Each structure stands twice: as structure tokens, then as C-alpha cells.
Amino acid sequence: MSGGTELGPDGLRRCPWGLEAESMADYRAYHDGEWGRPVHGDDALYERLCLEAFQSGLSWLTVLRRREGFRAAFAGFSVARVAAFTAADEERLLADPGIIRNRAKIAAATANARVLAAWEPGELDALVWSYAPGEPRPAPRTTADVPAVTEESTALAKELKKRGLRFVGPTTAYALMQACGLVDDHLADCHARGRRTRGRVSAR
């Protein structure tokens, strides 16, 4: 495989991961409609932080197929509501087959909500977006041109950890930046490239 875009059954070129055969419908919807488009709002960004952390060590498809389960289990990813979760709630989550049942990741998600609940409204949004690169990189031609970590993601992860958040290493921070439109890592001839500057994705 060249790592370049591939032609989909609808005649549109996409990043190759958006057309993986066994999961085409799930990945294509996410690739076309969400990935790389701007996400704003504390709850929406908290959701993406949680999902990226839960994905660590697993395929993104595993998370996508449990997304509604996660939303139901984590009170719609409302920072205020998750911050009020108790030890009993964490045990409930560990028994929930609709999510990824990892004790450390569940504990991090609830602890992060408690940290964020003490911030001013809009503070998470402002902080994350302050690490968007000032100048865009050249459009990647192949997946080999897309980094896993950048200077900005390393700095963002460092700041989030400094403020008490968990499971936010540089790789997770960069995945967040890609998913939420801080960078546009759609390949150069992908039909979805450029949507970073054309509207935003809501929390739902």
C-alpha cells in the first residue's frame, strides 16, 4: 500500500483508514463528518479527551462502536455530572458492557472531570485551542507524512498534566488535535481536506 488516498465506492478519494473494508461504514462516517473539523465547548472536548484516552492501545473502531454506550454511561460527557460520580458509579462503569472496562482509564475519566469542574467555563476550550499551530504544515501526501507527536502536542500534554489531568500524553494530545480540527491531517487529495476552516462539529 502506498499510504496515499484511496478511491471509495462513491467515487470520492479518502485517507486509507477511512476505507478499511471490515469497518468502512463506521470509519467513513467518522472520517467524512467529524475527524479534522473544529470541535469547541468544554463538554465536547472532555468527551474527545476521554475517548482518545480509552482508545490508547486499542483500535479506534473499538471506541467508535461503543460511542453511544460511552455517552450513556458517562452522562453525555457532562463535566459537571461526571465530576459528581462516586466510587459506586465507577464500579457500575466497570460492569458496563457498553464501554471499554479498564479501571485505570475509568478512574482517569472521572478524576479529570473533577479537575475540569473547578475551571472557569470555557477554560478547557481556550486552553486546548491555544495550542493550535500558528501556521499549517504542508498537506501530507501519504500517511507516512503524518506525525504521531508534534512540538505543540507535547506542550499541550505537559500543560494538561501540570493542571492535574491524567492519560494525556503527547500522542493522545496529538490525536485530540487531529480529531478536533486544530490540525488538518487529511491527505492532500482527500475530499475532506480543508473542512477545518468550514464550520464546526457539535458535541452530539
Taking CA 14 as the corner, what is the angle to CA 8 and CA 17, rounded to the nearest 5 degrees? Answer: 95
φ/ψ bin of 58: left (φ > 0), alpha (ψ from -120 to 50), beta (otherwise)? beta
Identify whether 52 is a catalytic site residue: yes
Identify whether 131 is a catalytic site residue: no
Catalytic residue among 27, 35, 46, 60: 60
Catalytic residue among 6, 34, 47, 52: 52
Identify whether 35 is a catalytic site residue: no
Tell me the sheet residues that pair with 13: 7
Catalytic residue among 27, 30, 35, 131: 30
Dihedral sign for Cα atoms in the order 194, 55, 113, 204:
positive
Q: Count CB atoms within 10 A of the CB of residue 80.
A: 12
Amino acid letter for position 150: T
Cα 151 from chain centroid (whole Å): 18
| DSSP label at residue 133 | -
Catalytic residues: 30, 52, 60
